[in-house]
Amino acid sequence: MSKIGIIGAMQIEIDLILDQMDVFEEFLFAGFPFYTGTLHGKSIVLTRCGVGKVNSAACTQIMVDRFQVDCIINTGIAGSLGKDISVCDMVISSDVTHHDVRKAQMKNLFPFQESFLANQNLIELAKKACESSDLKLTYHCGRIISGECFVSESHLKENLIQNYSPACVEMEGSSVGHVSFINQVPFVILRCISDNADEEASISYENFEKLAASQSAFIVNEMVRMM
């Protein structure tokens, strides 16, 4: 049986999935909680990695090494960087990259990738889950960028748009994709939009954080059900 790894940064991003799981065992490695069990009859490893790229990279590597997962789905929330991408829309990663690492460094140093491509089968499954869910969510497929900061300034937002042509920005997805790539594990990053990555971002984030996190987790739940 295939084993599905699911990663969320914060507890609210995994609560819905954890509530639906039949949990068999709980583990704690390097401070990260890992829950093993089943969801819709599928073998699942669920974890909370904490905020930021270093945390998510460490957690992803532990998941690969300790649990030998066959694919990884990263669920969470993000700030919109697309004019047609609104709060509570879903973004499915086409690829992911670090916006706080120079492109030349990405290209010329190991693992010699300017970005990391998400698995096409997982992308299509995520699209199908969005289309078939009762939530009737609007979804977009595009580049997700990550860095060690919460983007809440218009000048930074415009710079990121100009340099990367991304759909959204957050703080974990690129490192999950990076670690998945070097371990040859298929992955996809899912984000529900909580804010517009501008001066109103903090207020919007507080208002929509829980809803956005729950909607992203719901789509992951649908994906597992459809596998």
Domain residue ranges of the chain, discontinuous segments joined by + = 3-226
pLDDT band at 201 (very low <50, low <70, confident <90, very high): low
Q: Could you please state the CATH topology (level 3) that the domain comprising 3-226 is classified under.
A: Rossmann fold (3.40.50)
Q: Is the pLDDT of residue 103 over 70?
A: yes
Q: Which of 13, 170, 198, 222 is catalytic?
A: 13
Q: What is the pLDDT of residue 134?
A: 81
Q: pLDDT of 28-69, one tens digit each? A: 999 999 999 999 999 999 999 999 999 999 999 999 999 999
Catalytic residue list contains 84:
no
Please state the φ and ψ torsions of residue 151, each to the nearest 5 degrees. -85, 115
Catalytic residue list contains 70:
no
Q: Which of 89, 170, 172, 195 is catalytic?
A: 195
Rounded to two decimals, the pTM is: 0.95
